[in-house]
A = this chain, B = another copy of it.
Amino acid sequence: MAAALRQRAPEIIEANKKDLEAGRAAGLPDNILDRLTLTEARIDGVATGLETVAGLADPVGQVLNGGILPNGLELKQIRVPMGVVGMVYEARPNVTVDAAGLALKSGNAALLRGSSTAEHSNTTLVAVLRDALESVNLPADCVQLLPCHDRASVTHLITARGLVDLVIPRGGAGLINAVVEQATVPTIETGVGNCHVYVDAHADLDMAEAIVLNAKTRRTSVCNAAESLLVHKDVAKEFVPRITKALQQESVTIHGDDEFAQQPNVEKATDDDWGTEYLSLDISAKVVGSLDEAVQHIATYGSGHSEAIVTNDVAAARKFTTRVDAAAVFVNASTAFTDGAEFGMGAEIGISTQKLHARGPMGLSELTSSKWVVWGEGHTRPKA
């Protein structure tokens, strides 16, 4: 599949041009057009991604659990493919290839429902992948692209109970909510991140500044970016002016509580700000009276994605990591590390923010189910 993508890059770029022209005609913003664009270099990057996935250990067949029961039955719980995995996603055509590669490596068939803005790109990419599958005598239908022009294909996909084993929506909150609300097949919610950095009373303030800046400004459009800053009152006098200045130097707009709002050019936060995932150079900021108040604030407004504490106090760090209920909780590290590649998974199909099945970055293992295989020698179970 990787080789085929590289060989047929000109054809893919040709198809991509049609999407870009249509996108420009429809007045899509530049950042969306950029995400939609495929160049030879980007296609090579996507192909390299496939090679990385191909090189990962095969999750299927891995023994998760097992033993010999007192009655002599040999019990083994092994990983098996999920079966048929659906993806509903927006914009970027590279997701088409990533998802197909991860699904295939974990033994699944992939039903891909991309965005109509990427229709020509996705159609050509999937044709290339399917030809590659057939060239090694694998069934082309392991990878299928669904129609992208109306909602009907999404509705069919997410209600095909018994035929589709899992649907992963990837995109904005609207898309994810629509899928989860209407689905009767199992789904995994991904990607909404209202992530906090809490600067504790016992924080090293140099470290705190570096972590806040990194978590907010490294990439603003990603779900692991910090959207909210909480500062303990004991360090507020020193840290509030300092971090305000540092964030503003990086062009960040601060939506602050009363205490932050006393700083120059800080906007007064409204109630809505605390729950907002800006995905931009904006951050909400608040002074809290205690660690407990920070934990409570995160429980109220957080999305269960990534939360960080900066502290040198062991008791505070332990309390924060225990009490905060999120996919990833960091002590003295940036929320930006919540990522499949950073966590050593080799690849990522999304970041789960739900608690069932998978939580946090999802790699190959998260695309598998399990099965108990039991060998006996004529074992029957006594009546109770």
Binding site for B on A (CB under 8 A): 67, 69, 73, 75, 77, 80, 82-83, 161, 165-166, 180-181, 184, 186, 188, 204, 206-207, 210-211, 213-215, 218-219, 317, 321, 325-334, 336-338, 342-344, 354-357, 359-360, 369-381, 383-384
B residues in contact with A83, CB < 8 Å: 325, 355
Please determine whether A214 and B333 come into contact, CB atoms closer than 8 angstroms: no
B residues in contact with A325, CB < 8 Å: 80, 83, 371
B residues in contact with A379, CB < 8 Å: 211, 332-334, 337
Question: Separation in Å of the A353 CB from the closest CB of chain B?
Answer: 11
Question: Taking CB as reference atom, which chain B residue is nearest A82?
Answer: B355
Interchain CA distance A321-B63 in the complex, whole Å? 14
Please determine whether B372 and A327 come into contact, CB atoms closer than 8 angstroms: yes
Contact with A330, one of B67, B186, B188, B376 (Cβ below 8 angstroms): B376
Please determine whether B337 and A371 come into contact, CB atoms closer than 8 angstroms: no
Please determine whether B333 and A73 come into contact, CB atoms closer than 8 angstroms: yes
Please determine whether B342 and A373 come into contact, CB atoms closer than 8 angstroms: no
B residues in contact with A337, CB < 8 Å: 73, 374, 376, 379, 381
B residues in contact with A161, CB < 8 Å: 180-181
| Interface SS of A by simple majority | mixed
Question: Taking CB as reference atom, which chain B residue is nearest A339?
Answer: B381
Please determine whether A376 and B184 come into contact, CB atoms closer than 8 angstroms: no
Interchain CA distance A360-B65 in the complex, whole Å? 13
Contact with A211, one of B165, B360, B370, B380 (Cβ below 8 angstroms): B380
B residues in contact with A219, CB < 8 Å: 383-384
B residues in contact with A331, CB < 8 Å: 373-376
Question: Taking CB as reference atom, which chain B residue is nearest A213?
Answer: B380
Question: Taking CB as reference atom, which chain B residue is nearest A186?
Answer: B356
B residues in contact with A355, CB < 8 Å: 82-83, 165-166, 186, 369
B residues in contact with A369, CB < 8 Å: 355-356, 359
Question: Separation in Å of the A92 CB from the closest CB of chain B?
Answer: 15
A357-B357 in contact given A378-B211, A381-B336 (Cβ < 8 Å):
yes
A328-B372 in contact given A218-B383, A357-B357 (Cβ < 8 Å):
yes
Question: Separation in Å of the A248 CB from the closest CB of chain B?
Answer: 19
Interchain CA distance A336-B379 in the complex, whole Å? 10
Question: Taking CB as reference atom, which chain B residue is nearest A383?
Answer: B218
Please determine whether B332 and A378 come into contact, CB atoms closer than 8 angstroms: yes
List 11 other contacts, CB 8 Å, given A77-B360, A326-B371, A337-B381: A67-B344, A69-B344, A161-B180, A206-B378, A213-B380, A329-B373, A329-B374, A330-B375, A331-B373, A342-B381, A357-B357
Question: Taking CB as reference atom, which chain B residue is nearest A382?
Answer: B218
Question: Separation in Å of the A34 CB from the closest CB of chain B?
Answer: 14
Please determine whether B214 and A317 come into contact, CB atoms closer than 8 angstroms: no
Could you pull out 26 A-B pairs where Cβ atoms are within 8 angstroms? A69-B343, A75-B343, A83-B325, A165-B356, A166-B355, A166-B356, A213-B380, A218-B380, A219-B383, A219-B384, A328-B373, A329-B371, A329-B372, A330-B375, A332-B375, A332-B378, A333-B374, A333-B378, A333-B380, A334-B379, A337-B374, A337-B379, A337-B381, A359-B371, A360-B370, A360-B371
